[in-house]
């Protein structure tokens, strides 16, 4: 799939692009992954007598609970106990940002799949069987499934947010062209391979240890303490790794861990709760669908002078992370473009769907889809290529974002023009044109997708992390951080940092599980920031240890501290190798009673944001890039494939080209899936129809682009990125938006009457109907 052959054009552009890939380190988890030895929650050795739990959830999307009869279920042999809200000793409340979400429904239900009770039995099989024996009577209430309906009924999560720059109203009066329209982007199922789950084990004195598949161990710990009404120090949360998260386990890993802990607390026995795929699909929230309206105004020379949007976010039945996600939609509403007059508004609409949640990009993709739609619409109406308008408005150095941050070290134009040159855009476009001229039943389309993505949690107080580093007597090293490994390779990066600072082989370093007892009060592994925040903390801790060790070495070798360096497991004086090895140095430090443990705290400097003004400097830096997507559609069937996605991406100075390339490819394809084939469907009653892998299609090896080419732009990186290696987790997902517009262009090539539709995903059915739609 991936191709990175040396490129002639590339070789002549060495100043813009790195010549060869940096020596790549493999993701250290790959060894145990391919051998099937990697440990997940379901692999934890369970205590003898462990109970298994299944969640009983609402079979209606909205209503009052008239009665529930648990008697038959309770009578089933092997059923231990059924827990409801009445068994909660503390607060029956799990809302993270807004306290609006009960752990278990009390008197009413707000979404289909809302947890009502936890059935604990000797086996999962028995618990599942018991679930079928519960009788519930619900008095149904009107169900809202779309954001528009919610808006019409005044059903909101919180107050709207709005960003503005310049004077949009006035600017529209000066525009040569003004276009208005509506867009829709659907939700997206995370489909982590490992479903949600937790294992809770009671310890002595009422303490509980919980193994959880969570991106946010502290959120789990805090919420268990709140629900049980006990102190946080009684709860230890441990995470080895996740089989994927994608944001779906930032907040929504919590309820299952809390339920398992609640049952363990009452029963004084270990309890395991792992959702099966159907339960997971039905009970958990997804990416937020957005219904949006836009108004875009351009000058005669195609400068976007004014832009106005209203985003309706379908938040689901409770806040979850919706307010933060809504905020990030506003931050990315103008994507890679400088627009001097902007007014954006977002309404978090309360509906009767499962609370929608974080998903790679966190509202950013939804915001970018709207501006790209507005530009495509303008281009279509004016009769110019979309890329002409895109190119005319790319962000420049010192431009102001609508939220007040001044753009610095901008690579929007660089990645755009590098992509045009390296991939020879004239030849690509001519080939598409020639193909379309010579073919009637197949058409090709091509589209550019620039991205600009802000790095940091938009909530400034969350931007911190800690690392705890032990050097053991034998010179081996153990590192604990707040980073959760979920396949993104963060553990490998942490190991690289320590190996680099200590100058010892990675075999001497171990990354420990993520554990709230070793590293406390952590932010979730999210916002693409995990390697930056935890890496910086690791770097600080390792550097502090090296400083200490250098003093020991200087005393031992009778040399000045400033002349000492650690290199390849030895001490060097003035770059000359001494006889003192790393291991001996560590032993000597121990004899001198020097501390071989360090704990470091990192908090991103400079960032700030004032919500009363909606202005500030929320991001440590931005990640930039440009993708060119080419598609071919079969005009008889409406099916399509993506020939190539050619990307120039700003990695900064990548620490690991292999891992980062994996992130770009994975995110791109996840983005293409969201835009083209993944179709979440609820019926009017709020029942999830796309409730299995037979009715919800994610990209497989046959639907990924035939070639994905990623060329790194060698930038000087950013000091706030770890070792100048820019965050890579989320930004490339938005390259996938290019797939939507490539399809639009291919449809236009077939059907001259086609009036562009901005209604994602662009499934083959929609493509087919568009091909034959009359104006």
Nearer to ligand LUZ, 530 or 644 (CB): 530
Between CA 443 and CA 447 the distance in angstroms is 14
Q: Encoding tokens for residue 416? A: 């755009």
Helix, strand, or coil (residue 551): helix
Identify residues 346-385 at the interface with ligand LUZ (CB under 6 A).
358, 362
Q: Residue 381: exposed, middle, or buried by beta-carbon count in 10 A (0-12, 13-18, 19+)? A: middle
Quick check: 375 and 386 in contact, CB under 8 A? yes
What strands lie across the sheet with 576-581, from one edge to the other?
564-567, 570-573, 576-581
Helix, strand, or coil (residue 453): strand
Nearer to ligand LUZ, 184 or 619 (CB): 619
**Taking CB under 6 A as the rule, which mask of x and - marks residues 9-28 in contact with ligand LUZ?**
--------------------
> Would you count residue 328 as binding ligand LUZ (CB under 6 A)?
yes
Helix, strand, or coil (residue 517): coil
CB of 526 to ligand MOS, least distance (A): 3
Region from 355-363, 560-568, 705-713, 752-760 binding ligand MOS, contact rule CB under 6 A? 355-363
> Would you count residue 527 as binding ligand MOS (CB under 6 A)?
yes
Q: How is 86-108 classified by DSSP, letter by letter?
A: GG-SS-S---SSSS---SS--SE
CB of 457 to ligand LUZ, least distance (A): 4
Indicate the pairing of strand 509-511 with strand 477-481. parallel
Q: Which does 215 bind (CB under 5 to 8 A by kind): ligand LUZ, ligand MOS, none?
A: ligand MOS
Give the residue from 642, 661, 679 showing the smallest Cα distance to 732.
661
CB of 247 to ligand LUZ, least distance (A): 6
Residue 140 phi/psi, 5-degree rounding, is: -75, 145
> Would you count residue 285 as binding ligand MOS (CB under 6 A)?
no
Helices 764-771 and 737-750: angle between axes, nearest 10 degrees: 30
Between CA 697 and CA 376 the distance in angstroms is 27
Nearer to ligand LUZ, 478 or 616 (CB): 616
Q: Encoding tokens for residue 81? A: 């106990």
**Taking CB under 6 A as the rule, which mask of x and - marks residues 715-734 in contact with ligand MOS?**
---------------x----
> Would you count residue 736 as binding ligand MOS (CB under 6 A)?
no
Q: How far is CA 240 from CA 9, 43, 250, 269, 660, in A?
A: 44, 10, 15, 22, 21
Q: By Cβ distance, which residue is nearest to ligand MOS?
A: 247
> Would you count residue 619 as binding ligand LUZ (CB under 6 A)?
no
Handedness of CA 326, 331, 334, 335 (dihedral sign): negative
Between CA 272 and CA 198 the distance in angstroms is 6
Nearer to ligand MOS, 102 or 365 (CB): 365
> Would you count residue 103 as binding ligand LUZ (CB under 6 A)?
no
> Would you count residue 511 as binding ligand MOS (CB under 6 A)?
no
Q: How far is CA 117 from the centre of its chain?
A: 30
Nearer to ligand MOS, 184 or 362 (CB): 362
Cis-peptide, bond into residue 78, ω within 30° of zero: no
Nearer to ligand MOS, 688 or 733 (CB): 733
CB of 59 to ligand LUZ, least distance (A): 32
For the chain, the helix, strand and coil percentages under 3-state DSSP, each to the nearest 5? 30, 25, 40
Any residues with CB less than 8 A from the CB of 494 and at least 6 apart, and which? 467, 479, 481, 483, 511, 531, 534, 535, 538
CB of 246 to ligand MOS, least distance (A): 7
CB of 489 to ligand MOS, least distance (A): 15
Identify residues 523-552 at the interface with ligand LUZ (CB under 6 A).
526-527
CB atoms within 10 A of CB 698: 16
> Would you count residue 457 as binding ligand LUZ (CB under 6 A)?
yes
> Would you count residue 332 as binding ligand MOS (CB under 6 A)?
no
To the query of whether residue 512 is one of the catalytic residues in this protein, the response is no
Q: Which does 542 bind (CB under 5 to 8 A by kind): ligand LUZ, ligand MOS, none?
A: none
Quick check: 376 and 357 in contact, CB under 8 A? no
Region from 198-206, 367-375, 432-440, 455-463 binding ligand LUZ, contact rule CB under 6 A? 455-463
> Would you count residue 57 as binding ligand MOS (CB under 6 A)?
no
What strands lie across the sheet with 707-713, from one edge to the other?
442-455, 621-634, 640-650, 707-713
Q: Which does 279 bind (CB under 5 to 8 A by kind): ligand LUZ, ligand MOS, none?
A: none
> Would you count residue 324 as binding ligand LUZ (CB under 6 A)?
yes
Taking CB under 6 A as the criterion, the residue among 83, 163, 362, 448 binding ligand MOS is 362
Region from 451-459, 473-481, 568-576, 710-718 binding ligand LUZ, contact rule CB under 6 A? 451-459
Indicate the pairing of strand 197-202 with strand 108-109. unpaired
Region from 1-9, 134-142, 336-344, 353-361 binding ligand MOS, contact rule CB under 6 A? 353-361
> Would you count residue 331 as binding ligand MOS (CB under 6 A)?
no
Q: How far is CA 535 from CA 406, 465, 546, in A?
A: 26, 9, 16
Give the residue from 5, 107, 110 showing the smallest Cα distance to 62.
110
Nearer to ligand MOS, 113 or 365 (CB): 365
Q: Encoding tokens for residue 259? A: 């339920």
Between CA 650 and CA 579 the distance in angstroms is 43
Region from 230-238, 454-462, 568-576, 765-773 binding ligand LUZ, contact rule CB under 6 A? 454-462
CB of 486 to ligand MOS, least distance (A): 9
> Would you count residue 358 as binding ligand MOS (CB under 6 A)?
yes
CB of 527 to ligand LUZ, least distance (A): 3
Torsion of CA 338, 608, 409, 542, to 10 degrees: -150
Nearer to ligand MOS, 80 or 604 (CB): 604
Q: Which does 265 bind (CB under 5 to 8 A by kind): ligand LUZ, ligand MOS, none?
A: none
**Taking CB under 6 A as the rule, which mask of x and - marks residues 405-444 in contact with ligand LUZ?**
----------------------------------------
CB of 708 to ligand LUZ, least distance (A): 23
> Would you count residue 526 as binding ligand MOS (CB under 6 A)?
yes
Give the residue from 310, 387, 384 showing the smallest Cα distance to 347.
310
Number of residues binding to ligand MOS, judged by CB under 6 A: 10
Any residues with CB less than 8 A from the CB of 184 and at least 6 apart, and which? 289, 290, 291, 292, 758, 759, 760
Helix, strand, or coil (residue 641): strand
Handedness of CA 398, 402, 403, 409 (dihedral sign): negative
**Taking CB under 6 A as the rule, which mask of x and - marks residues 220-249 in contact with ligand MOS?**
---------------------------x--
> Would you count residue 589 as binding ligand LUZ (CB under 6 A)?
no
Between CA 393 and CA 280 the distance in angstroms is 43
Taking CB under 6 A as the criterion, the residue among 83, 112, 338, 359 binding ligand MOS is 359
Residue with tokens 């310049």: 166
Catalytic residue among 204, 372, 730, 765: 730
Identify residues 226-255 at the interface with ligand LUZ (CB under 6 A).
247, 250
Nearer to ligand MOS, 215 or 670 (CB): 215
User: Catalytic residues, which ones?
Assistant: 730
Interface residue list for ligand LUZ (CB under 6 A): 247, 250, 321, 324, 328, 358, 362, 457-459, 526-527, 730
Q: Which positions touch ligand MOS (CB under 6 A)?
A: 215, 247, 250, 358-360, 362, 526-527, 730
């Amino acid at each position: 799939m991936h191709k990175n052959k040396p490129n002639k054009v590339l070789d002549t552009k060495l100043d813009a692009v790195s010549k060869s890939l940096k020596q790549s380190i493999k993701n250290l988890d790959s060894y145990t992954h391919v051998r099937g030895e990697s440990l997940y929650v379901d692999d934890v050795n369970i205590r003898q007598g462990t109970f298994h739990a299944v969640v009983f959830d609402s079979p209606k999307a909205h209503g009052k609970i008239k009665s529930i009869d648990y008697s038959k279920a309770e009578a089933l042999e092997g059923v231990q106990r059924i827990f409801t809200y009445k068994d909660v000793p503390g607060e029956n409340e799990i809302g993270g940002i807004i306290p609006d979400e009960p752990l278990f429904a009390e008197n009413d239900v707000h979404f289909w799949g809302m947890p009502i009770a936890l059935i604990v039995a000797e086996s999962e099989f028995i618990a599942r069987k018991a679930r079928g024996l519960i009788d519930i009577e619900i008095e149904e209430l009107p169900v809202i499934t779309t954001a528009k309906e919610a808006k019409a009924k005044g059903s909101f999560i919180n107050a709207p947010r709005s960003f503005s720059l310049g004077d949009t109203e006035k600017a529209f009066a000066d525009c040569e062209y003004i276009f208005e329209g509506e867009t829709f982007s659907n939700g997206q199922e995370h489909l982590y391979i490992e479903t949600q789950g937790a294992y809770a084990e009671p310890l002595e004195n009422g303490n509980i240890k919980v193994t959880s598949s969570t991106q946010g161990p502290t959120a789990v710990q805090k919420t268990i303490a709140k629900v049980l009404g006990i102190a946080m120090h009684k709860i230890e949360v441990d995470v080895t790794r996740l089989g994927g998260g994608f944001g779906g386990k930032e907040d929504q890993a919590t309820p299952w861990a809390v339920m398992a802990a609640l049952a363990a607390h009452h029963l004084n026995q270990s309890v395991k709760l792992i959702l099966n795929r159907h339960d997971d699909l039905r009970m958990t929230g997804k990416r937020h669908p957005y219904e949006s309206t836009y108004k875009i105004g351009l000058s005669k020379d195609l400068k976007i002078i004014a832009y106005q949007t209203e985003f309706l976010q379908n938040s689901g039945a409770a806040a979850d992370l919706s307010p933060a996600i809504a905020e990030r939609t506003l931050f990315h509403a103008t994507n890679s473009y400088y627009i001097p007059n902007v007014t954006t508004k977002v309404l978090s609409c309360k509906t009767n769907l499962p609370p929608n949640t974080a998903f790679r990009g966190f509202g950013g993709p939804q915001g970018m889809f709207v501006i790209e739609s507005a530009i495509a619409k303008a281009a279509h109406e004016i009769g110019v290529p979309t890329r002409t308008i895109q190119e005319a408005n790319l962000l420049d150095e010192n431009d102001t974002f609508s939220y007040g941050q001044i753009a610095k070290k901008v690579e929007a134009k660089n990645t755009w023009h590098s992509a045009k040159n390296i991939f020879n855009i004239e030849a690509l476009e001519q080939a598409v044109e020639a193909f379309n001229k010579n073919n009637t039943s197949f058409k090709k389309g091509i589209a550019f997708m620039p991205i600009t993505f802000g790095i940091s949690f938009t909530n400034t107080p969350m931007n911190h992390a800690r690392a705890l580093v032990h050097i053991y007597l034998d010179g081996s090293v153990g590192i604990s951080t707040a980073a959760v490994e979920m396949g993104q390779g963060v553990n490998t990066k942490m190991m690289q940092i320590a190996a680099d600072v200590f100058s010892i082989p990675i075999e001497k370093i171990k990354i420990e599980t993520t554990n709230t007892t070793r590293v406390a009060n952590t932010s979730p592994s999210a916002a693409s920031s995990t390697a930056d925040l935890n890496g910086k903390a690791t770097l600080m801790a390792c550097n502090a240890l090296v400083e200490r060790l250098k003093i020991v070495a200087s005393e031992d070798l009778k040399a000045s501290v400033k002349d000492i360096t650690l290199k390849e497991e030895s001490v060097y004086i003035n770059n000359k190798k001494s006889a003192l090895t790393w291991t001996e140095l560590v032993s000597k430090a121990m004899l001198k009673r020097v501390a071989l443990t360090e704990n470091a705290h990192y908090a991103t400097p400079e960032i700030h944001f004032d919500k009363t003004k909606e202005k500030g400097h929320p991001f440590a830096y931005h990640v930039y890039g440009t993708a060119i997507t080419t598609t071919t559609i079969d005009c008889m069937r409406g099916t399509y494939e993506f020939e190539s996605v050619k990307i120039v991406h700003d990695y900064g100075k990548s620490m690991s080209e292999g891992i980062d390339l994996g992130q770009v490819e994975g995110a791109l394809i996840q983005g293409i899936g969201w835009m083209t084939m993944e179709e979440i469907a609820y019926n009017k009653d709020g029942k999830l129809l796309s409730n299995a892998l037979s009715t919800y299609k994610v990209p497989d090896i046959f639907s990924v682009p035939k070639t994905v080419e990623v060329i790194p732009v060698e930038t000087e990186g950013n000091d706030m990125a770890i070792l100048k290696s820019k965050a890579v987790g989320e930004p490339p997902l938005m390259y996938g938006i290019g797939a939507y517009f490539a399809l639009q262009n291919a449809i236009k090539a077939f059907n001259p009457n086609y009036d562009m539709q901005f209604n994602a995903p662009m499934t083959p059915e929609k493509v087919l109907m568009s091909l034959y739609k009359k104006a």
